[in-house]
């Protein structure tokens, strides 16, 4: 009987201790948060106030002691939370360029030392600023960017790798064409947003490169055989150059043009011919794979196939030829110096 009484007393002590622990936990602000009805902040409005900053505003909630604002990046799902205790707006600064974000806001009140939250309200997605190249030639860069709130105009500059100003232009629109640039040259293009009185509101930069007005090498490699008379395997008069490369190496279009031939061509094996402006055409022979079709438009640098050993070839390489009119000529004077 004494043992039973001792067991009963122990059970009562344990139960009391557990009850006390539960009450203690529920009173602590460090544990689970409660929710409150009627503390809505809808709507949540966003505004891109600079290239790298987005402003967030919301309707004040009654009896709110503060707000929790969460920014969620669409591309990575990364989140950044900010607590606002005074006011009903906040700015997210120094965000990465060209990223999409949505923002959520929920109000809270503090009761018994802990936060009690209202319902969460989300905004739609909004993008941070961008500066992009929309088109390029050998001497021009077409640049576009997003509008910046409060700006009445933009100044656009292009600076080369030596830090020298190469071009500058102003615009009230969100696009401009910079002219007078050098072919195949990298530039840092900066867009600066300004107000009517000349004050700067924001700026952002991006690296851009002009196109080559000349031809580019279709593949990198040592020249195995040059244009002209030769002895050994193949024609005694070599109507192109052979460039050494591994089997399956991507082959690029040497210049913008239209594919006039793509298929098997006797000793050339699988072969592609591209017609360019100015009366020239380029030929790519001994391919293992053709990646374009007749009539297709290609831009300089587009992969048109892969190197191989088809047709009359003793090893994997690219035979590269160039027509001036209907005559095959030496391609080397048309290509950049190595």
CA atoms of 227 and 241, how far apart (whole Å)? 5
CA atoms of 241 and 139, how far apart (whole Å)? 29
Q: With bands split at pLDDT 50, 70 and 90, how would you rate the model's confidence at 30?
A: very low
Give 110 or 9, the one with higher predicted confidence: 110
Residues 71/79, Cβ–Cβ less than 8 Å: yes
Q: With bands split at pLDDT 50, 70 and 90, how would you rate the model's confidence at 155?
A: very high
Strands 327-329 and 237-238: unpaired
CA atoms of 10 and 91, how far apart (whole Å)? 58
pLDDT surpasses 90 at 46: yes
CA atoms of 152 and 202, how far apart (whole Å)? 12
Nearest-Å Rg of the Cα atoms of the chain is 34
Measured from the Cβ of residue 170, the count of other Cβ atoms closer than 10 Å reads: 11
- Structure confidence by residue, pLDDT tens digits, 82-128: 999 989 999 999 899 889 999 999 999 999 999 999 999 999 999 99
- Structure confidence by residue, pLDDT tens digits, 255-306: 999 999 999 999 999 999 999 998 999 999 999 999 999 999 999 999 999 9
Strands 34-35 and 114-117: parallel
CA atoms of 290 and 292, how far apart (whole Å)? 6
H/E stretch holding 193 reads strand 186-194
Residues 58/123, Cβ–Cβ less than 8 Å: no
* DSSP string over 127-154: E---EEEEEE-SS-EEEEE---TT--EE
On whether the 34-127 domain is CATH 2.60.40.10, my answer is yes
pLDDT surpasses 70 at 25: no
- Structure confidence by residue, pLDDT tens digits, 135-144: 887 789 999 9
CA atoms of 69 and 87, how far apart (whole Å)? 12
CA distances from 210 to 74, 75, 189, 258 (A): 31, 29, 12, 21
* pLDDT given for residue 299 in this prediction: 93
Residues 146/60, Cβ–Cβ less than 8 Å: no
Q: What are phi and psi of 17, to 5 degrees?
A: -65, -40
Q: What are phi and psi of 197, to 5 degrees?
A: -90, 10
Which CATH architecture does the domain made up of 131-209 adopt? Sandwich (2.60)
List CB contacts of 164: < 8 A, sequence separation 6 or more.
none
Q: Of 2.70.70.10, 3.30.70.270, 1.20.1070.10, 3.40.50.300, which CATH number belongs to 223-334?
A: 2.70.70.10
Retrieve residue 324's tokens: 């001036």
Intrachain domains 34-127 and 131-209 with the same fold: yes
Measured from the Cβ of residue 107, the count of other Cβ atoms closer than 10 Å reads: 29
CA atoms of 315 and 270, how far apart (whole Å)? 14
Q: With bands split at pLDDT 50, 70 and 90, how would you rate the model's confidence at 184?
A: confident
Q: With bands split at pLDDT 50, 70 and 90, how would you rate the model's confidence at 234?
A: low
**Spans of all domains in the chain:** 34-127, 131-209, 223-334
pTM of the prediction? Answer: 0.54
Retrieve residue 159's tokens: 């600076």
């Amino acid at each position: 009987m004494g043992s039973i009484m001792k067991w009963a007393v122990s059970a009562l002590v344990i139960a009391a201790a557990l009850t006390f622990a539960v009450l203690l936990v529920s009173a602590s602000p460090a544990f689970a948060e409660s929710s409150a009805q009627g503390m809505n902040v809808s709507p949540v409005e966003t505004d891109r106030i600079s290239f790298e900053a987005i402003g967030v505003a919301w309707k004040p909630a009654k009896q709110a002691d503060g707000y929790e604002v969460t920014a969620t990046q669409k591309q990575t799902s990364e989140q950044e939370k900010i607590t606002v205790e005074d006011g009903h707006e906040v700015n997210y600064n120094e965000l990465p360029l060209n990223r999409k974000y949505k923002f959520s806001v929920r109000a809270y009140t503090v009761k018994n030392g802990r936060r009690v939250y209202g319902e969460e309200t989300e905004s739609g997605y909004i993008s941070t600023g961008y500066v992009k190249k929309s088109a390029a030639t050998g001497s021009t860069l077409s640049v576009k960017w997003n509008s910046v709130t409060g700006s009445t105009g933009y100044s656009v500059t292009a600076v080369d790798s030596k830090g020298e100003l190469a071009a500058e232009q102003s615009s009230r629109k969100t696009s401009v064409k910079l002219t007078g640039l050098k072919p195949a040259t990298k530039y840092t293009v900066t867009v600066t947003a300004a107000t009517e009185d000349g004050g700067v509101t924001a700026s952002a930069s991006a690296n851009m490169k002009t196109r080559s007005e000349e031809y580019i090498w279709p593949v990198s490699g040592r020249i195995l055989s040059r244009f002209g008379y030769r002895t050994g395997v193949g024609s005694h008069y070599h109507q192109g150059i052979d460039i050494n490369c591994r089997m399956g190496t991507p082959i690029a279009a040497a210049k913008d043009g239209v594919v006039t031939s793509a298929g098997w061509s006797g000793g050339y094996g699988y072969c592609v011919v591209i017609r360019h402006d100015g009366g020239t055409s380029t030929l790519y022979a001994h391919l293992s794979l053709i990646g374009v079709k007749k009539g297709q438009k290609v831009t300089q640098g587009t992969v048109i196939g892969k190197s191989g050993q088809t047709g009359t070839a003793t090893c994997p390489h690219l035979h590269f030829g160039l027509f001036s009119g209907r005559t095959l000529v030496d391609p080397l004077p048309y290509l950049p110096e190595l």
